[in-house]
Amino acid sequence: MDYTLDDSDRALVADLEQAFAGIADRAQAADSAGELPEQNWTDVIDSGYLKLFHPAEIGGMKVNGVAQALAMETLAKACPSTFWSATMSGLECVKLIQAHGDPVEHRALLGQLIRGERVGCFAVVENTSGCDVESYRSTVRRDGSGYVLDGEKTRITNATTADVAVVLARFPETRTGWCYAFVDLRQPGVRTSSLPHMGLRAMPWGGVVFDAARLSAADVVPVDLRNLREGVGWGWLFMSIAAIGVAESALTAAVRHARRHVAFGRPLGHMEGVRDALARTRVEIDAARLLAHRCAWHRGEGRPVQDLLGMLKPFATEMAVRAVECAVQVHGACALTPGHPVERLYRDAPMHLFGGFAANRQRELVAEELGLTVTYQEHGMLMGTGLDKDAIGLPGPRGRERNDQAIQDRAAAR
């Protein structure tokens, strides 16, 4: 594995940094307004970012996995909210439709998403549960020559701005019992709503209600839940890289402040505790980035990397929270003032912890890869401890009486 960028890759990243400069300048205002500026989407489209992840035959200009990862990190550092919205549509949704859809039937849709003409969302989570898929109730059923979808999804990136959704739903008429449904969100029978959120405030986020939303037969694709982890793998990767971008932005701000701010007669960066904290943050970010590049390289080559992604996602997202907390400590109370760049990152970082499975659930998946599979058995949670029983195992005073009688009988026998 060679993670070294060639001249064309380095030029690509440099061009993206320049293309995303306006997005970075608008990030703070977008967060305050809680709305993604239209110009951000225009800049993303014009940069060619959405094409980087896909082969030429469907309209992309695919580059190697490491260059993809660096491109993602570049946008994430400019504005995490814009990154989430654009990458969910142009990477995750396109990969799902390409992998599960019909190459002819869905070719036009793929091209529209890659060109940014339409926006996509991936609707999985429901109000009943986060990553407990078995509790989901959204269902596709036959209706005449086609199908309809009923149900509700929540906490969905791009819910209020998307034109099409990839929906995980029950599909009782097949052996697997589940399907991906490719749903036109601009039709009767679909309602969307916005949800307030603490971090990534400029990212469109909300819920979608399906009331007999119509689907063609080609837009209903049976799926085995055992393959769900493979389907969400691109999401785990981009969320991890987004977290690395947030952490890098926080470290940059902290180092800048440590160099400039003077306390007790010397710059903060001269203090051993500050230097130690920033050095540890540097190491953790680079460790997460190296694992992310390894995942991206293998993923870009078409190799399965679920075990690596299961390690990367919790490590990178929790590392980002620590990195931003370090930046807050270096800045002091000013970093918690609304409008301060680190205050925005302080709210953005935790949003990466829970998307696409929470960290504790992903560690269970890593443990399963180690062969530590757990078999759950029903048991009585309120079973007695035995403390209410006497020496021969009988309860209460009656037990004590029988115990005394047994002692007397043994003495008489002797």
pLDDT at res. 178: 94
Round to whole Å and give the CA distance between 197 and 351: 9
Contacts of 229 (CB under 8 A, 6+ apart): 306, 365
Round to whole Å and give the CA distance between 367 and 372: 5
Q: What is the mean pLDDT of residues 227-252?
A: 90
Pairing relation of β-strands 120-123 and 164-170? parallel
- Over 70: is that where the pLDDT of 303 sits? yes
Q: What is the mean pLDDT of residues 61-73?
A: 93
pLDDT at res. 46: 97
What is the set of domains in the chain, with CATH numbers?
7-114 (1.10.540.10), 120-224 (2.40.110.10), 232-369 (1.20.140.10)
Q: Do 222 and 201 form a contact (C-beta atoms < 8 A)? A: no
Beta bridge partners of 122: 166
Q: How confident is the model at residue 231 (pLDDT cuts 50, 70, 90)?
A: confident
State pLDDT tens for residues 89-139. 999 999 999 999 999 999 999 999 999 999 999 999 998 877 778 889 999
Percent of the chain with pLDDT over 90: 70
Percent of the chain with pLDDT over 70: 90
Q: What is the mean pLDDT of residues 25-49?
A: 96
pLDDT at res. 2: 67
State pLDDT tens for residues 339-359. 999 999 999 999 998 877 777
Q: Report the chain's mean pLDDT, rounded to a whole number.
A: 89
Q: What is the mean pLDDT of residues 327-331?
A: 96
pLDDT at res. 359: 75
Contacts of 281 (CB under 8 A, 6+ apart): 247, 250, 251, 254, 322, 323, 326
Round to whole Å and give the CA distance between 156 and 158: 6
State pLDDT tens for residues 356-406. 777 777 788 788 778 887 665 665 555 555 555 554 444 445 555 655 666
Q: Is the pTM of this model over 0.75?
A: yes
Q: Do 136 and 168 form a contact (C-beta atoms < 8 A)? A: yes
The larger pLDDT score, comparing residue 55 to residue 409, is at: 55
pLDDT at res. 226: 76
| Crossing angle of helices 7-19 and 65-78, rounded to 10° | 20
- Over 90: is that where the pLDDT of 183 sits? yes
Q: How confident is the model at residue 233 (pLDDT cuts 50, 70, 90)?
A: confident
Q: How far is CA 145 from the centre of its chain?
A: 36
